[in-house]
């Protein structure tokens, strides 16, 4: 899931940049921020998978292993 989310974010950022969508400025516009959020959340999912750590379990929720 992390890889897929990261690739979606990278694709969104690249498409927004290449297409010249309105709102493509550093710090403004939905294409930029949606892509950034996808890349960061995908990277966090990859980190969790590689380290065997789960943020939901760390918050105290009992999830099946």
Rounded-to-integer distance, Cα 19 and Cα 6, Å: 20
Q: Rounded distance, CA 50 to CA 34, Å?
A: 24
CA-nearest of 9, 7, 2 to 38 is 9
CA–CA distance, 33 with 52 (Å, rounded to integer): 28
Higher pLDDT, 20 or 37: 37
pLDDT tens digits along 3-35: 999 999 998 888 777 767 666 555 556 777 899
Domain boundaries, the chain: 2-58
DSSP code of 45?
A: H
Close Cβ partners of 30 (under 8 Å, ≥ 6 residues apart): 23
């Amino acid at each position: 899931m992390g890889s897929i989310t990261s690739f979606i974010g990278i694709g969104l950022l690249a498409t927004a940049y290449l297409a010249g969508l309105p709102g493509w400025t550093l710090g403004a516009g939905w294409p930029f921020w949606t892509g950034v959020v996808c890349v960061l959340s995908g990277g966090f999912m990859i980190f969790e998978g590689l380290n065997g750590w789960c943020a939901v379990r760390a918050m105290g929720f009992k999830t099946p292993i």
